[in-house]
Structure 1
C-alpha cells in the first residue's frame, strides 16, 4: 500500500499543481483583462481629448473668419454705402467676389447681407433670400451689435430642416452699426466629418456629441451605426445607466456601460470648450478586450502544453522547458530589435524636429528633421548646449521652464531659436520628461505662419490708411518700411512718374541716403 501511495504521489502533486494553476490562472486572467482594458481606455481618452481640442479649434477658426469680416473697415463702408443707395439691387462686385471666395474656400453654404434694421438684403450661396430673420438669429444679431464681436450659434436644426450653425459678423462705420454678415454652416459638411474621423483602427469605435436640454440628453451629431441620427435620439436624464446621459450630466473621463444599441462599451467623455457640448468617443468593450483575450488563450495553451510535458517525465520537461526558454529569449530579443528599429524609423522619419537632452542642457540625440532645422550635423549639435541655439532673450525663462516640465507638467510654448549663421526662426516646442535626468522636445517651425500673419497685419494697416484718406507720402512710407522689415538687410524705395510721364520723382525711401534719391 505504501508503494501504491508513493506511486500516486506525483499524480497528486500534479493535481494540486493543476488546481492551483486553475485558481491562480483565473485570478491572473481577470487582472490581465482589467489591466488591458484600462490601457485601452486610456488610449480612448487620449483620442477624445485630442478630438475635443480639434473641435474647439474649428470653432475658433470660424469665429476668426467672422472677426476678419467685422474688422474690415472697407467692407463696412462699402456695404453701408450700398445699403444706403436704394437704387442698387446687386452687391458691389468686389464685395460679392470676397463673399463668394469665403463660401468656396471655407465651406460655408450661404452668406446673407443684413442691413442696420435687421432685414436680409442679399443672399449668396445655396439658400434663397428670406424676408426676415428668425428669433434666434435676431437675438444673436443684437448681441453681436451690442458686444461688437462675432457670434457663433449653438448647433440646431429647428429652422432649416437640417443641423446647422450660423455665424454673425457685425459691421460698424465708426460707432454706428451699418449691418452684419450672416454665414450658414451645414454641420454634415464640416463639423460631423471632423467628429467622426478617428485615428483608431477599429470596426466599432465612433464619436458623437451630446447636449443637455432641460431634463433630456440629446444626441446632436450623426452616428457611425445609425445615419441621420442627429437631434432624433433623446434620453431622459433619469436614465443614468446610459453613458451618454451621465456625460450630459457633467461626468467626464472614462465611463463604462451599455450604449444605445444595448452593447457594453467603454466611453471617453470630454467637454468642448466654449460650448454646452460633450464629446463622446466610445468603443465596444468586447473589441477592446479581444487582443488581451487572444494573448491569454495563447498563454493558457502554453501552460497546458507544459503540464502535458510534466506528465511525461521531469527529465523531458526540463529539456523542453530549457529549449522553450531559449526560444522565448531569442523571440524577445528579436521583438526588442524590431521595436527598436520601428522606433528608430519613426524617430528619423518624423516631420517635426526631435531633440533628446539631459537636465544639464546637453544634447544626446536628434532626428534629421531637427538637424535640418538647425542646419547642423549631429556631432556639431552634441558640442553645443541648449542655450546656444536659443535667442538671448529666451535665456531668462529656460531654467524655470525645464524645472516645471521635469516636475511633470507638459510644456508647449513658442521659442525663438538661432542658427549658427545668426538666422532666427520661431518654433512651437513640446517637451516631456523621459527619466529623472533626460527629456525630449519636438520642434515645429512656425516662421512661415508668423510671416503670413505679419503680411495680413500689413495689408490691414495699409487698408486702414487708405480708408482714412491718409496722405500718399505716409502710405508709401509705410509700404517701404514694412517691406524692409519683412526682408532684413534690404533697402526699399518707391519712385513715381511726374505729370509729364517722362521723369521719376521720389515717392518714398525712408532708409535710402538723400544723395541716392537725388541721383535717381
Structure 2
C-alpha cells in the first residue's frame, strides 16, 4: 500500500503557510481596528512584519535542526500539556501586562486631558471675570466723577448743554479705547439724558434693565442681546445707578468684538476643541457664543436641560466639573464646565473624545505590537524547550525502563523471601498478590489465595470489625491491630496486622504485613501461669509465718494472766504477725 503521509519538511512548510495566512488575516484586521491613524498604522505594520519574519525564521531553524522522534519514543503527553499550559500562562501574563500598561497609560493620559480641559475652562472663566470686572471699575470711576453727578442733576430738570459738554469729554475718552460702543446717562424711566458714541434708542431689554438698576441700586449686567431686527448686531450693557436717583450710567460693548473672541479662543492647536459661553434660561441652556460650524447666531442655539443625552444635563444635576457625554451634535466629547463669578454665564471647554484618544490609540498600537512580539518569542522558546524535553524524555525513558526492570526483580525477591506474611489487596478486598510466607501460613496455593477475599482469612467471630479496620488503613499512617485468622483447614491462629494504602501504576491497593503471634501468645501465657504460681506460694508462706507468731503471742498472754513470765521473746527486728497492728497489738 502506498504511504500517503507527508514528509516532515512538508508538514513544517504547511504549518508555516497556515500560520502566516492566519497571522496576516488576524493581525491586519486588529491593527486596522486599533490604529486608525495612517502614519502610525504604516509604522506598526512594518515592525509587525519584521517581527513575524524574525520569529518564524528562528522557529523554522529550530524545527529543522531537531531530529525527528523515533518510533520507540513514547510521546510525553503530560509534558506537552504542561508546556502548553506554560505557553498559555506566558501569553496570559504578556497580554495581561500589556493590558495593564495600556490601562495605566490610558488612565494617566485621560487624567491629563481632563485636567487640561478643566484648566482651559478655568482660564476662560478668569479672563471673562477680569473683563467684566474691568468694565465695572470703569463704570465706577465715571460714577464717582462730581461733574457727572452735577450734570445728571441739571439734565434731569433742563437741557444744560454747558454742563453736559464736560461729561461728554470723559465719555469720548473712554470710547477711544475701543472697548465701548456707546456710553450714556439715562433717566429711571429709560429716557436718554446724555449719550456718546453710537446713537440708538434704548430697546425694551435696555429700558427694563435701566428701571431694575434704578430700583435695585446696584451694578447690573444687561446680558448679550440683539439690537436690530435682523439679528446682526449685539450688545452687552454695564449699568450703575447714580446717587440721589440722578439717573443710570450705561456702558455698552459689542460682544462680537472682544467677549466672543476671548471666550472662543483655544490656547493649543486642536481640530475639534472649542470654548462656549452658556447661560441657563428656564429649562434650556442657551449658547451665547454660537458653536463652531453650526451656522447659528448668538443666543440662538438652545439645548433642553432635561435631555440626559447631553453633557449639560450633568451640569444641572451635579454642578460644574468635568464630564463625558454628547454635545448638541450628538458627538461624544469631554467637556469641562466652569461658572463665571458675578455673571449668569458658564464656560464649556469641550473636545471630541475621538481627538482626545487619538494619541492613546497610537500608544495602544505600539503596545499591541510589543505584546505580539513577546508572544512570538515565547512561542519560540516553548517550541525549543519542547524538542529538548522530547530528546531528554527519550533518554530518560530508556534509563527508567532499565531501572524499573531491576527494581522489579529486587522487589519480587524481597517480597517472596520475607518471613512475615505479605498480602496485596484491591479496594474491593480481593487478594491480588501473596508471598511464600502467606502460602505456607494459610495452606493455600498461589492461585487459590488470589481467588480469596480477606473475609475468607478471618475468624468469623471477628468479621464485625473487618470493615472498620479495612477503612482505617486509608489513614495517612495506616493502621495496626490484632485479630484471629483462619487457615485453609479451618484452624485459627492469632496475628498482628500492619496495613496501609499504597499506589501502584495509578491504582490504590492495601498492603498488609501480617505476623503470626501464636508463639508469642503461648510464651505470654506461660509467663502468666508462672507468675500466678509464684504469687500463691508467696501468699501461703506469709500466712504460715503469721500464724506461728499469733500462737506465740497467745501463749505469752496466758502466762501473763497466770502471773508467769513470757516464754517467747519478741525480737525487735522480727516482723509482726499477720493481722497485727504496727504498734504490736495482735488482731483478734
Shorter-normalised TM-score: what interval?
0.5 to 0.7
Q: 1:66 aligns with which of 139, 142, 151?
A: 139
The corresponding residue for 1:124 is 196
Query: How many angstroms does 1:77 deviate by?
Result: 1.7
* Equivalent residue, structure 1, for 2:185: 113
Work out the CA distance in 1 between the residues paired with 2:173 and 2:298.
30
**SS of 2:290 mapped into structure 1:** coil
Give the equivalent residue in structure 2 for 1:37: 110
User: Contact between 1:121 and 1:129, CA under 8 Å: does it hold in 2?
Assistant: no
Deviation at 1:202, TM superposition (A): 2.2
Report whether the alignment pairs 1:304 with 2:372: yes
Q: CA deviation at 1:217?
A: 1.9
Structure 2 unaligned segments of length 5 or more: list them. 1-73, 385-588
Q: Which has the higher contact order (CA 8 A, sep 6+)?
A: 2
Q: Distance between the aligned counterparts of 1:62 and 1:280, measured in 2? A: 23
Q: Distance in 2 between matches of 1:258 and 1:111?
A: 41
Is structure 2 residue 346 aligned with structure 1 residue 268?
no
CA distance in 1, matches of 2:200, 2:302: 33
Please give the residue correspondences for 1:76-115 in structure 2 after superposition, counting only pairs within 5 Å. 76-81=149-154, 84-86=157-159, 88=161, 91-92=164-165, 94-115=166-187
Change (3 A) 1:111 1:25: same
Q: Which residue does the alignment assign to 1:169? A: 240
When residues 128 and 158 of structure 1 are mapped into structure 2, their CA distance, relative to the original with a 3 A threshold, is closer
- Secondary structure at the aligned position of 2:195 is classed as strand
Give the SS at the match of 1:155.
strand
Q: Is the 8 A contact 2:188 2:214 kept in 1?
A: no
Q: Which residue of 2 aligns with 1:370?
A: none
Q: CA RMSD in A?
A: 3.3
Q: How many residues align?
A: 310
Match for residue 196 of structure 1?
A: 264
Is 1:150 equivalent to 2:219 in the alignment? yes
1:75 aligned residue (148, 151, 155): 148
Does the CA-based 8 Å contact 1:66-1:150 persist in structure 2?
Answer: no
Over 3 Å counting, the alpha-carbon distance change for 1:112 and 1:278 in structure 2 is: same
State the 1:159 CA deviation: 6.3
Q: What is the distance in 1 between the residues matched to 2:189 and 2:325? A: 52
Query: What corresponds to 1:413 in structure 2?
Result: none
Deviation of 1:111 after TM superposition, in Å, equals 1.9
Q: Distance in 2 between matches of 1:292 and 1:117?
A: 60
**Secondary structure at 2:343 match in 1:** coil
Q: For the Cα contact (< 8 Å) 1:192–1:222, is it kept in 2?
A: no
Q: Distance in 1 between matches of 2:124 and 2:86?
A: 56
Offset of residue 148 of structure 1: 4.5
**Partner SS, residue 309 of structure 2:** coil
Deviations 1:80-138 (A, max 9, x none): 4466553749951x43332122123151111233246641144332x3342xx344433
Give the corresponding residue for 1:369: none
Identify if the C-alpha distance between structure 1 residues 85 and 252 changes in structure 2 by more than 3 Å, giving closer, same or farther: closer
SS of residue matched to 2:342:
coil
Matched residues in 1 for 2:200 and 2:278: separation? 32
**Residue 220 in 1 paired to residue 288 in 2?**
yes
| Structure-2 change in CA distance of 1:113 and 1:40 (3 Å) | same
> Which structure 1 segments of 5+ residues have no match?
317-520
Partner of 2:126: 53
3-state SS in 2 of match to 1:278: strand
Deviations 1:172-213 (A, max 9, x none): 4xx3x3333322122111111111123233222111122221
Compute the displacement of 1:20 (Å).
4.0
Contact 2:266 2:274 in 1 (8 A): yes
- C-alpha distance in structure 2 between counterparts of 1:258 and 1:62, whole Å: 35
Going from structure 1 to structure 2, the CA distance change for 1:76 and 1:124 (only over 3 Å counts) comes to: same
Residues 344-393 of structure 1: per-residue CA shift (max 9 Å, x gap): xxxxxxxxxxxxxxxxxxxxxxxxxxxxxxxxxxxxxxxxxxxxxxxxxx
* 1:73 Cα offset (Å): 0.9
1:12/1:246 Cα in 2 relative to 1: closer, same or farther (>3 Å)? closer
Name the CA shift for 1:211/1:201 in 2 (closer, same or farther; >3 Å): same
Q: What TM-score, normalized to structure 1?
A: 0.53
Q: How many Å separate the matches in 2 of 1:260 and 1:129? A: 35
2:109 maps to 1:22: no
Contact 1:165 1:187 in 2 (8 A): yes
Local SS of the residue matching 1:199 = coil
Which residue of the partner structure matches residue 404 of structure 1?
A: none
1:377-456 alignment runs, 5 A limit: none
Structure 2 equivalent of residue 253 of structure 1: 321
Q: Is the 8 A contact 1:33 1:293 kept in 2?
A: no
Deviation at 1:293, TM superposition (A): 2.4
TM-score (norm 2): 0.47
Q: 1:219 to 1:259 in 2, by over 3 A?
A: same
SS in 2 for 1:142: helix
CA contact (8 A) 2:236 2:255 kept: yes
- Classify the secondary structure of the residue corresponding to 1:154: strand
Deviation at 1:67, TM superposition (A): 0.8
Secondary structure of the equivalent of 1:224?
A: coil
State the alpha-carbon separation in 2 of the partners of residues 137 and 228 from structure 1.
24
* CA distance in structure 2 between the aligned counterparts of 1:71 and 1:218, rounded to whole angstroms: 36
8 Å contact kept, 2:273–2:351: yes
Aligned residue for 1:274, secondary structure, equals coil
How far does residue 55 in structure 1 lie from its aligned partner after superposition? 1.6
How far 1:48 moved relative to its partner?
1.3
Q: Distance in 1 between matches of 2:344 and 2:305?
A: 15
Q: Does the aligned pair in 1 maintain the 2:320–2:336 contact within 8 Å?
A: yes
SS at match of 2:176: helix
Q: 1:34 to 1:229 in 2, by over 3 A?
A: farther
User: Who is 2:7 aligned against?
Assistant: none
Give the structure 2 partner of residue 295 of structure 1: 363
Counterpart CA distance in 2 for 1:108 and 1:227 is 27
Preserved contact between residue 209 and residue 219 of structure 1 (Cα < 8 Å): yes
